[in-house]
Structure 1
Amino acid sequence: MFNVMIVEDEMLVRLGFKNSVQWDNYGMTVCADAANGREAWEYYTNSVRPDVIITDLRMPIMGGIELIKKIREQDAQTRIVILSCMEDFDLIRQAMQLGISSYILKLTMTEEEIHHVLMRVREELGTQMTLGTSKGIIHNPDQLKENIIKNFVFYHLYSKDEFVHHIDQLKLRLNPERLIVAMMEIDHFELVQTKFNDEKGELIRVTFLNVLNELLVQSQRGEVVSDEDKRYLFIFSFRDIASEYQIREEMIGIMTQIQKVLSRFFNISATFGVSGMKSGYASLHTLYKESERAVAQKFFHGTERLLFLSDVDADATEELVRRKLQQFHEKWSMIEEAAQKDVEAIVQSFLTSGRLSHEQDIRKLFVRLLHCPSVTASLSESEVTALVSAYGEEMQKCETLDEAATAYSKFLSEIISRGGIKKQLSKDIARAVRFIQDRFHEDISLQQIAQYLELTPNYLSVLFKKELQMNFSEYLNRIRLEKAKELLLGTNLRSYEVAQQVGFTDDSYFSRAFKKHTGVRPNGFRRLWINDWTGTVEAEDK
């Protein structure tokens, strides 16, 4: 059994995490829990050292960063997982530099996410045991090569001298001079899994590694290992070539050949992200991160591309995004005037945010546009739920800006075809709608609006039903719930705070009404559309 220590100052979170996980399933047991870093450090130094430490970052007396630094001064073997909040990303980035395995966000953590993180940690521990007991005997060269490269590049488990020793022992095609890392990402990997009938991806991994290794043998250049399900990490060294132009041309030749083979024999495409060039094995982790940033440009530039980090132009990328968003103006002009103003305000706010080159922020923008209440105001709740779910699922599968924009354009076209085009409301109902949209968060009534319009409540009720196809209470509730969706998507407010801001005095009633309106409760809605849909916490730093 591997020993686990949980370090968290919030007692309910600490005990809840300790008691809710089936630790036996991961070959683990909780040996201790501590309320702050100092307690954890005392246990670490005076008792049996834990194999895994799950720690918060912000704690009294001694915080998580200081605790991690102290532990890393002693050993690099203990696996560390961060348990933290969304606003702690600056601290998480600091922790990443100290060699943590992963992180879990308290607000959004799910059983599936915890399972994924613990399985990853369990795999790392198993790899350490294998390498620790091998004593230099190579049982499976390919597996050992993968473990050695990953544990040096990702987890810093070896010194440079130990890594060099393993390279020589395995006779790898690597040299510390002029190193370049390339990340290959299989495009639309879910479709490839379906084609191979391989839900876990193991058959795909083994098949592709065999093909890729064979191609590298032919070129007599570099090594490749798998990285996550759809990614493969290439390391090249060019000791024998001094010209950067010649190196780039050879890289292009190797990667293009790989793309052709994958297309010809498997009918699939792949995108490469290529780092800069540095010398020294100590630079491999930096080059790996550069290759990740390069391949992420696929979202902006399309699939089946060779993307060199040195070619990335932030200004050009931002201009590309601006042009892509401007193409919707014609369709926005065809919907209700209020809806047009709302979506253009959302887009304008995004355009001035300085986040145009960040994929996750663009994905969040499309989520907000899908859920913009005034765009779908002319449709019934069931129609809105069905449409948003269908196009949300389609856009979730989009891997590029072009694909996401095409899906959103289809969504707008369907809204327009279903009656979401401009239509004239009577003067009284237009004023009533404006009154509700301005004061939805207040305790307003049909009588109050009727008095404001100098109409009788009964007559105003008839107008609501006739022109909006719903009564006053239904319309007010819908506006409040749609505004709640905007706050859940655009802020970190808690559920009860959202309820208060949109005019619900009872959080329980708000939660029930929200579930009836959307099919899920508020926190579930946020997890579904922000975390699961955009992948915000999916991209884990190594």
Structure 2
Amino acid sequence: MKALIVDDEKHVREGLILLAQWGIHGIHTILEAEDGEDAIELIKEHRPEIIFTDMRMPRRDGISLLKWLHSAEINSKTIVVSGHDDFEYMRNALYYKSFDYILKPIEPEVLNETLGKAVREWKVQALSRKTQVEENQVLNEVKPLYWDRFFSKLCQSQEVSAAEDYKIRKEFGLSIANKQKKIALIPIQQLVKTAFLGDRELAFFTVSNIANEIVRKTNEGVCFRNLDNEEELVIIIWNEQNGTLIFNDIVRAIYQYSKVHPLLAAGKATVDLKKAYDTAHRVLQNHDLASSKKMATLEEMTSSPLLHLLDHSNELKWALRSGSMEQVDAQLKTLFTSLEKEHTFSLQQISAWETQFNLLRNNWLKEYEIDSEGPFYNGRDYWSEDGSFAPEKFKREKAGEFKELVELLSQAKYQTEKNSMQQIEEYLLQHYQEDITLQEIADRFYLSREYISRKFKQDYKATITDYLTSIRMDRAKKLLENPHLKIYEVAYGVGYQNEKYFSKVFKKQEGVTPNEFRQSLSGKI
């Protein structure tokens, strides 16, 4: 197959050549033209199957080239590449049957996805030549993409500009600039998993069509895919008085089709589209998913503090280091109980958990010198067959992530015997002034007393007690160098509450009493 790139900017042509995966799509000849005039000559000579063209070019521009391709009945698939999100260009691209419309700067993923679709469609066309059917399909695909982009951008604007309102008036037959508008959001994730077997594109296509059939029937709004958030559909109602009725109709229609209860979050009615969207988003993020209500409103919204895994990172780390899933389960049980009693199963809470777990997991894996790139188990199946949130499934999924982490750490053998003993030694050095017991150490490091006694003596050639005594005596000798400190003050400073017992231990360890040691220092001076 052959491809032609038409653009008056050399670096754009070179960029397309570098970014596109030509070989994968069976394209082995790539032609270049600086404008539409040169392109026509190359097209006549080589008949390329795929054509990328800019819109603004000298001599003959992209619109003129599209007109010629249309009149000449060239069967190539034409993809418009433009730096201008302009409705007039889009309209001409649609009218002259271009396959798709890509905005600069070009994203490799979008480019190659579009190229792949164009190649596949050209092959189908070459076999069937059902030209009219394919042209209608292209029109139906490209136009919704334009309006998805248009309304997604509009939701981030406080005002509808005159130019934007003109486009809406031309398409929908009314002005919405000064109307009270209400926005509702439908998260698509649970629908994708439960009703569409993981097919995200089919879910977006089907649900948006259901919603648009309802709102467009009486021209009261529009439903579109939010290109700024891949997890949601947006419904704008410009007849806000009927908003609640329309939203209920949409929820019922989706359930009738899929047997899944969708969640719909409705915001505040306002002229300001950004405010309308932001309030709907806040309702969606704070809604209690465990609630039986499937339509969330601003009036019923409640908020509760988030549970942060980061606040419990130390307890979780020690449980993980123990290598015991029972210890991890005990920590998770505490967290889940707190979550149910003091917090809310909201999308915001779930997102916070997932984000902080990924952060902690990456940090722990880095400590353990394990590749943090994965792949890892990411438990996201929180939904029942009817689309309702299932807290017990959430708990199982989160426990599954921790179980994998325990297994990873065990396999990597980071929690080795040597590292355990090094941690205990560090603890002794930091806490020698305290009354440390072997049982306390065993509880802290999730190890048995017998194991600690045996392994510590094996590594350090001394018992825990002897090693602790050695640390205390070394520190005591340093303190005895200060002639202003009383012996009982030195004893207390290294963890002994009884001066006589301290002196007895010191003499046994050093061969002299503390006073004799201090006098020997004076003699040296």
TM-score by length of 1: 0.40
TM-score by length of 2: 0.41
* Higher RCO (CA-CA < 8 Å; seq separation 6+): 1
